[in-house]
Structure 1
Amino acid sequence: MPEYLSPGVYVEEVDAGPRPIAGVSTSTAGMVGVTQRGPASGKPKLVTNFLEFQTVFGGFLPEPDAPVRDAWATNPTEGGRWWLFPSAVKGFFDNGGQRLYVKRVVSGDARPGSGTLGSGLVSHVVRDAAAGATTLELSHLIGFAGNDPVTVHRGDGTEIGATTITGYTGTRVTLAAPLAAEVKAARGDYVQVGARGPAQTLRFEASSPGSWGAGVRVRISPELSASLPVLPDPGEGSLFVTRLSVEAAENSPSVVVDRTAGLSAGEVFVLIGGTRFPVTAGEPDADDRVTLTFAEGTTHGAWPAGQGVRRVRLAGGGTSLRVGGAGRLYLGAVTQLDTGDALTTLRVTAIDDDLVTFDAPTPVPVFETARLGLVEATVDTRFDDPAGGSVTETFRGLRLLGTDPASVAGVLAARSRLVRATTLPDLSDDPAAFPTPATGSWLTLADDGDDAYDGLTVADFVGTDGGSGQRTGIVALEDIDEVSVCAVPGVWAGTVQSALVTHCEQLHDRFALLDPQDGLDIEGIQTFREVFDTKYAALYYPWLVVTDPVTATGALEVPPSGHLAGIYARVDNERGVHKAPANVVVRGIRLTDGIAQDVTKRHQDLLNPKGINAIRFFPGLGQRVWGARTLSSDTSWKYVNVRRLFLFLEESIEEGTQWVVFEPNDEALWALVRQTVANFLTTVWRSGALAGTTADEAFFVACDRSTMTEDDLANGRLICVIGVAPVYPAEFVIFRIQQKTREQQLV
């Protein structure tokens, strides 16, 4: 209760009236099946179109080898054609589905493709160079010293020749000997320092089991994820910038510059024409000019009057440097110091504001023109799908060692759809021993990945419950509360379908679509249906025919559950869950022979009373769903739309009244609950989902002393009784016509 302890004005917020209930989604589907690739662990993955499904889970599956195919396709009780799952997913989106959660099924014996990297120092050529050239543009100089003996190779590993780097500017290097042959960036030519080592540094695996991993390539390369300025020593004095007062002859022992603030007599270093020189500054003359005298033996070019002259200050030495932006560094970080004429690898051991301490002495001298680069790694991955298309990924700023979220292993585990990495004992963060494949620059995962389809069982489809995020198969759909329609397309195994029905009956918020065995005749489908009695599932017959997506010409029979799940979603979005998902055209099938077996009216006279929903062809109307019955023997729940309407109402009321829990259980709360539920049901009635010309005819809500006893109140129970009158579909439209005779009238 609010406290009023001192005089003043108090502003308070109070609840006014009932809280609204939002209707839950009924068009989100969940499917379980075998895919080419994709996450095999974790929660089901949401896809919103077939292109996204192909990107995440791969394309259509080929028919498996004859022994595996026949073991499943010819088994009438525990079989299925699970390789048709991608076609069923396509049927879902073709028929208006928008949200689908997919759980991949893999064999317990399946394993991913893998590959292991050795070590070495390699830099790729990024610009073509002709034979005889003495310069090369490389991708990086990380791990180089600036005067390295190197070998130049073609992308396939063939050696072009050996030479030595004599200097560098940025990533362009000067070679001691001209190239013996042309080099090309497009074919992956590279420069190598020393030999590649046999050390085992990093192991890459495809992100999920299956033979698809043989199409994955991985490349890891060093990068400078930050280039930080080296700061001058505080005792070095001021910076000055001036210019030559008069022209300077080639190799002159001194030059004359304009006097400027910060320029005083003494020894300093200056930068003229891009070259650093030690000079001694004299006193200003009568014309306010200062003479800078070079060290004995200094050579230089001729410079015109007005040539810029800038002081370059020393940055210190020993094991510490002051670095601008030192906050980008961290303990143990590997860095590369570039002084302009040499490259040195240093490891950070301490950071105090902008003072960075390293594990080894820095070169002497170091000037403020030097740059300190943070050495990390970039991982590129690529998968070329044999069915067409490719997936590429790039991850930058990774740390080689460790498994923390910023490391190679951590980032790939969290973000990559293609690969996972494991660090091996020989891995080092020394750039000179960077992880490198035995040849070339890309590592292609070996073809040791295996789908192990011969080990696939019905238990893999049923799945196991390892807790949230660790469930598999049908059980994993429990992780997604939004799923309202679920299926295991192409699998008619009794164990699987029983598990799917049980899943729906236990959760009370979803409906199952079952597939019969393909090729059944009218007697066969009736026998198949006899084992079911549930109000949480529907069965559709026969299978559908689509154009074979592999050959693009032949015909392929596919299970109907995927297409029907899309129809459910389309009808829900266009009309509402109360509309029976029937008398609608099936999309995405062949126009002339899109139904595997013809079903006539006389056939359906046998099927409909038993709850088998037919898919039929009508001249001038196309191929339509012509049934809307559940598999329940209870006539109260024989219609699909009635069952799903109650699922919608129950789930919406449950989620919309969570605020009631632990509220004081009295008349005021009961009135709020009544009004909250009544407002929601009024909206549902106005949408046409409930029968009755008035709201009172459509539903009632009771929550008062008549629904609760003193024992209920004492045990913390609030009981609200709700009754609704659903709209039943007009399944049999009857027009009774009689002949009316004209009566004779007497005049």
Structure 2
Amino acid sequence: MPEYLAPGVYVEEVSFRSKSIEGVPTSTTGFAGVTRFGPVQYSLGPTTTKPRLITSFTEFERVYGSLAPLDLATGERTAYLAHAARAFFNNGGRRLYVSRVFTPAAAQPVADFIAHLTVPTTLGAAAWHARWPGQDGNVLVDTQVMRSKNLAFEFPLVVGDILARHTWGVQVKSIRAGAVVEVSAPLPAVAPTGNVPLVAGNLRVINVDSDGRQTFIDNTGLPVPVAAGAQISLVELRVTVYGPDGRIDVYDQLGAHRDQRRDIGKVLELDDPDDENAMVYLDWLPGGNAFAPAALMVGLQSADKRLAGGGDGTLPSADDLGGKEANPDVVAERATGLEALGELDDIAIVALPDGGAMLDSDSVQAAADHLIAHAEKYRYRIAVVDAAANSSISEIREFRGKFDSKYAALYHPWIEILDPLFPTVPGVPPRKLTLPPSGFVCGIYARSDIERGVHKAPANEVVRGLTKFEININKARQDVLNPEGVNCLRFFDGRGNRVWGARTMSSDPEWKYVNVRRLFIYVEHSIDKATQWAVFEPNNERLWTNIRSMVEDFLYVLWRDGALIGAKPAEAFFVRCDRTTMTQNDLDNGRLICLVGMAPSRPAEFVIFRVGQWTADSKS
């Protein structure tokens, strides 16, 4: 209750309506697997290793690398996750989280697979390092010098100037402490320009005292005077990083001291660089000599260009793909693999594009186990499972028989595409590539949700971006697979390539269909998020009425949109939250219980027309 302590007029805001429920997103997808580059946790590495949200394949390539095969210790391997991301966006997906999995070979530390380059400096230790492990870290780093025009000047005599600045001698315009300048002979001598090699003896580091007076520190570490009339140019750096596949990153106007606005150590730091997708960082320990910034510039300009030592590691195991939970006692040990996706609340679909391409059938099964366990653990998401490539009818049935989950769906067969890395050349047969279906199917899930809604079965939808399916599934084969919960991908003459199934991997007929499972996930998650305000509210009729009203309003919209069956709302759903759902024991123990029942619309999987002869009655 508000307090009224002094006489006056009090205007207060109150609410006379129930709160509303906002539906959660259902098309956001999460992939875990092997990529060429990108955020991954390793000892003494960046702390910003959470899965990144990707909204286009162009963005994926910038963060996680290209479609090029990986050079693993086990041999060259197709970048299945990159291809899955491409298929996801081509098929209508819009939001994708990626959790990169990196496994070093032969139990080596991850640091052994990070490209680096030592920078020779006379003061302090410096080195370029790739931010993440991988061969894509073997980049070229070109550091060039940018020189300004002559900035030297002297203060004129001003009567009443208590600082007597006319006695300071040569100063430099618009310069902050820590700036590196180059001192040249007085005019008419020609000062160096462009990227002419720096000479340490000509460089000075500026120090500024509390009055604003500049002093010039040379390579001895001591302040020295500057001759009257000398030319002084500001020296800054331009760093150009040449990455794979023509990527070029440019960083301009860089200083080399922590007091500079664009200190190179901050702009290209390990943890939080200005460009969060920077490929490299500068490891720089300047020491105590005040001339160290100038020495760093000399070393960076003269250093070699190519980083070396980056490697792609080895093929992760199924357990590596599953990942580990974050260590609650050590902040630096964050979640990995699928478990890293578990920390993101808005993911509704998960897949392991590398899972179906493991080296043996046991590993494929173990990867599927991890994926399904992940979806069941976090409840509000569904797993899209891949079987092994080239699976026969008997093998796919055997694989399907090993699982029983209402939070997972299996799709078969694999999908053949034209390899985008090898453009078609006249007279040369195009190169083909076979990919697991999960990336395509996740994109179709997202497309169906956006265009029709989560209640619509993501089936009878066109699969984009393929040449054909790995094997041909005809009606006779699907008659065997469909009742067992294997969703087939089929080609129909005149109708193209389509997803022709919408069943989960559950033996429970109540949860037979993917869209029913996902509709309930959507409703449960939306109610969960929207009713958090009710915790610790007085557990009385007013609260019960408010909750009942907000849930009914939410379900009414679903019924109106066709997600629920029934000629009227009372036939489509009910919501009860009153004394009939709670005993006194529940109230005494702080429990509020609300019962919600829904009649979901199931897909018309079998459309049957019965046609017979009929003789019309004669009429006069």
User: How would you bin the TM-score normalised by the shorter chain?
Assistant: 0.7 to 0.9
Paired residues, number: 566
For residues 58 and 21 of structure 2, the distance between their equivalents in structure 1, rounded to whole angstroms, comes to 35
* Counterpart contact for 1:314–1:366, Cα < 8 Å: no
Q: Deviations over 1:347-396 (max 9, x none)?
A: 426324x45677766637769xx998876x535142332xx331313154
Bigger mean CA offset, 730-739 vs 626-635: 730-739
| Aligned mate of 2:319, from 459, 462, 467 | 459
| Aligned mate of 2:554, from 680, 686, 693 | 680
| Secondary structure, counterpart of 2:81 in structure 1 | helix
For residues 578 and 54 of structure 1, the distance between their equivalents in structure 2, rounded to whole angstroms, comes to 33
Distance 1:650 1:355, change over 3 A: same
| Aligned mate of 1:206, from 108, 115, 130 | 130
Matched, 1:392 2:225: no
Higher helix share: 2
Matched, 1:719 2:593: yes
Partner of residue 529, structure 1: 400
For residues 464 and 681 of structure 1, the distance between their equivalents in structure 2, rounded to whole angstroms, comes to 38
For residues 231 and 424 of structure 1, the distance between their equivalents in structure 2, rounded to whole angstroms, comes to 36
Which letter maps to 2:497?
A: Q
Q: How does 1:202-601 map to 2 (within 5 A)?
A: 202-219=126-143, 221=145, 231-232=155-156, 234-235=158-159, 315-317=166-168, 329=176, 333-334=178-179, 336=181, 341=186, 345-348=204-207, 350-352=209-211, 354-355=212-213, 363=225, 378=237, 380-385=239-244, 388-394=245-251, 396-400=253-257, 408=265, 411-413=268-270, 414-415=272-273, 416=275, 417-424=278-285, 429-430=291-292, 432-436=294-298, 443-446=305-308, 448-453=309-314, 456-467=316-327, 470-492=334-356, 493-552=364-423, 553-590=430-467, 594-601=468-475
Distance 1:90 1:346, change over 3 A: closer
For residues 349 and 65 of structure 1, the distance between their equivalents in structure 2, rounded to whole angstroms, comes to 53
Shift of 1:314: 6.4
| Secondary structure, counterpart of 2:241 in structure 1 | strand
| Secondary structure, counterpart of 2:36 in structure 1 | coil
Partner of residue 47, structure 1: 54
Partner of residue 542, structure 2: 668
Shift of 1:703: 1.2
For residues 340 and 261 of structure 2, the distance between their equivalents in structure 1, rounded to whole angstroms, comes to 28
For residues 115 and 383 of structure 2, the distance between their equivalents in structure 1, rounded to whole angstroms, comes to 35
For residues 302 and 225 of structure 2, the distance between their equivalents in structure 1, rounded to whole angstroms, comes to 33
Distance 1:476 1:395, change over 3 A: farther
Shift of 1:444: 1.3
Partner of residue 23, structure 1: 23
For residues 706 and 396 of structure 1, the distance between their equivalents in structure 2, rounded to whole angstroms, comes to 71
Q: Deviations over 1:269-328 (max 9, x none)?
A: xxxxxxxxxxxxxxxxxxxxxxxxxxxxxxxxxxxxxxxxxxxx962138xx99886xx7
* Counterpart contact for 2:157–2:165, Cα < 8 Å: yes
Which letter maps to 2:186?
A: D
Bigger mean CA offset, 720-729 vs 399-408: 399-408
| Secondary structure, counterpart of 1:597 in structure 2 | coil
Q: Deviations over 1:89-141 (max 9, x none)?
A: 1111111111111111211345111101113xxxxxxxxxxxxxxxxxxxxxx
Partner of residue 735, structure 1: 609
Q: Deviations over 1:236-267 (max 9, x none)?
A: 789xxxxxxxxxxxxxxxxxxxxxxxxxxxxx
| Secondary structure, counterpart of 1:477 in structure 2 | helix
Shift of 1:86: 1.5
Length-normalised TM-score, structure 2: 0.83
Which letter maps to 1:579?
A: K
| Secondary structure, counterpart of 1:85 in structure 2 | helix
Partner of residue 45, structure 2: none
Gaps of 5+ in 2: 42-48, 188-201, 357-363, 424-429
For residues 221 and 675 of structure 1, the distance between their equivalents in structure 2, rounded to whole angstroms, comes to 68
Cα RMSD, aligned residues only: 3.4
For residues 440 and 407 of structure 1, the distance between their equivalents in structure 2, rounded to whole angstroms, comes to 16
Larger radius of gyration: 1
* Counterpart contact for 1:230–1:372, Cα < 8 Å: no
Partner of residue 193, structure 2: none
Distance 1:536 1:442, change over 3 A: same
Which letter maps to 1:22?
A: E
Q: Deviations over 1:173-213 (max 9, x none)?
A: xxxxxxxxxxxxxxxxxxxxxxxx6x773111111111222
Q: How does 1:84-99 map to 2 (within 5 A)?
A: 84-99=80-95
| Aligned mate of 2:482, from 608, 629, 632 | 608
Shift of 1:478: 1.4
Partner of residue 653, structure 1: 527
Shift of 1:471: 1.6
* Counterpart contact for 1:206–1:216, Cα < 8 Å: no
Distance 1:570 1:338, change over 3 A: same
Percent of paired sites with the same residue = 39
Partner of residue 103, structure 1: 99
Shift of 1:597: 0.5
Q: Deviations over 1:208-251 (max 9, x none)?
A: 1112222332426577799797644654789xxxxxxxxxxxxx
Bigger mean CA offset, 436-445 vs 620-629: 436-445
